[in-house]
Structure 1
Amino acid sequence: MHELIEKIVVYAPEKSSGHRTQQIDIYYRFDVAVSTAVADSMKYDKKRKAA
């Protein structure tokens, strides 16, 4: 993995609508692609009850 990834950028978390989101960018070597993910606390909240 270390040979394929140039850097990982983790942005500061943002709070809106009562939940937290955080953007993560992964830059690959050789300019193949850049992956962007957004982690949303509403999707990963363990205390949230299932409907």
Structure 2
Amino acid sequence: MAVIITFEDLGDKTEYTALVRHWTVADREEHEKMGFHKDWTQATEQLVALVATL
């Protein structure tokens, strides 16, 4: 799996984009079964909380 994360300054806010590329459909399906989306959302929320403290 490869992940590309970008941040774009939009003036009063920042756009955060995460692009995930799985090597195969089977890999993607396995990651989905393991809770990929839930865990990715949790990681993003933790990043937002961290940035808010700066």
TM-score (norm 1): 0.40
Q: Which has the higher contact order (CA 8 A, sep 6+)?
A: 1
Instruction: Flag the structure with higher strand content.
Output: 1
Q: Rg bigger for which structure? A: 1
